[in-house]
Amino acid sequence: MTERVTQELLELLYHDAKVRCTEKEALTDWILDTQSRTAPLPASALLAYLANHQSEVLHRLQHNVRLTTELAQALRGAAPDGVSRD
């Protein structure tokens, strides 16, 4: 998955009124606490986090027509531990 798709995922999450504020805050905390500040956020890490901690949000993203193909590819290409097999 490209950085563009990762950015789109984040934009959808943070602008979606149906995603609760607490879920957005938890995601923000996770990003700040665990991800590098000098490198782009890996899509595989974001998807692994959502799968493990916010599965209902990931489910909503999977049904978003803007990302259906890219997200399906990323989920097929991600190993169970969240590391991409690309």
Residue 14 inside a domain? The answer is yes
* Structural domain boundaries enclosing 56: 3-33+40-77
Q: What is the pLDDT of residue 15?
A: 87
Identify the sign of the CA torsion 52, 50, 5, 40: negative
Residue 67 inside a domain? The answer is yes
Residue 54 inside a domain? The answer is yes
Number of domains the chain contains: 1
Q: What is the pLDDT of residue 79?
A: 44
Residue 83 inside a domain? The answer is no
pLDDT higher than 80, residue 5: no
Q: In 3D, which of 63, 34, 69, 38 has the Cα closest to residue 48?
A: 34
Q: What average pLDDT score do residues 23-39 get?
A: 95
Percent of the chain with pLDDT over 70: 72
Residue 71 inside a domain? The answer is yes
- The pTM of this model reads 0.73
Residue 52 inside a domain? The answer is yes
CB atoms under 10 Å from CB of 35, counted, come to: 15
Q: Is 50 exposed, middle or buried (0-12, 13-18, 19+ CB in 10 A)?
A: buried
Residue 80: both structure tokens together: 């169970």
pLDDT band at 80 (very low <50, low <70, confident <90, very high): very low
Q: What average pLDDT score do residues 9-29 get?
A: 92
